[in-house]
Amino acid sequence: KNQVEQSPQSLIILEGKNCTLQCNYTVSPFSNLRWYKQDTGRGPVSLTIMTFSENTKSNGRYTATLDADTKQSSLHITASQLSDSASYICVVSAGNTGFQKLVFGTGTRLLVSP
Amino acid sequence: GAVVSQHPSWVICKSGTSVKIECRSLDFQATTMFWYRQFPKQSLMLMATSNEGSKATYEQGVEKDKFLINHASLTLSTLTVTSAHPEDSSFYICSANGGQRTYEQYFGPGTRLTVT
């Protein structure tokens, strides 16, 4: 069964600090892995997308890593800001070519406090 | 680029009535559109996949007669919740495949439905 698990479920950090969110997956066939940021009451916004051959990708203060051998990914947030408070969702795309089905993790709720 | 809009952003309706939610790709043609439902503190759950001009494919457990999906053009898909009940209250999000990166899914901002 295709699954994506994220940890921690929730996290509180002080503004300016760094944090790392984890994602483990069992999805086959693997196509790509995405990290989304979802603000409360809003749709998800893409942060990074990585294919099998990529092991790191950055988007500003967000850096995602992918270990396709251990089927793990992480999202590192540097110098957190209050606006980083949101849910972060790890999504793995399953499929070979054409239509790909997204498998969603349950998300990590991050709260950045002043 | 690759903007997806939804209308309305929130709606309140009475039990037993129907409500239509629109999803539009504003600056690209969407070959495929998806409809998701999200309950509080839970992740997105795929309801159905629709391709322009053809019938939607519903996920297991989703009633196709209750959640009517129409994908009449490459930029518009609609979800109609028929005979809504309070348990249909949820956050409905659409996404669209297309644009320059055809493998990418671009999400709309969501529609909050409350059935009283």
Tens of pLDDT, residue by residue over A38-87, are 999 899 999 999 988 899 999 999 999 999 999 999 999 999 999 999 99
Render pLDDT for B10-56 as a digit per residue (tens, 0 to 9): 999 999 999 999 999 998 888 889 999 999 888 899 999 998 888 89
Q: Give the residue from A3, A14, A1, A5 showing the smallest Cα distance to A110.
A: A14
- B85 — phi, psi (to 5°)? -125, 160
Residues in chain B with CB shorter than 8 Å from the CB of A52 are none
As beta bridge partners, residue A11 has A110
Question: Exposed, middle or buried: residue A34 (CB in 10 Å: 0-12, 13-18, 19+)?
Answer: buried
Angstrom distance (rounded) from CA A75 to CA A60: 12
pLDDT of residue A29: 87
Residues in chain A with CB shorter than 8 Å from the CB of B90 are none
pLDDT of B101 > 70? The answer is: no
Cross-chain Cβ contact A102/B46 below 8 Å: yes
Mean pLDDT, to the nearest integer, of A83-111? 87
pLDDT of residue A78: 98
A-to-B residue pairs, Cβ atoms closer than 8 angstroms: 40
pLDDT of A98 > 60? The answer is: no
Q: Which of A9, A30, A42 should be substituted to probe chain B, the one whose Cβ sees the most B Cβ atoms within 10 Å?
A: A42
Residues A35 and A75: beta-carbon distance below 8 Å = yes
Cross-chain Cβ contact A44/B108 below 8 Å: no
pLDDT of residue B97: 84
Residues in chain B with CB shorter than 8 Å from the CB of A100 are 103
pLDDT of B1 > 70? The answer is: no
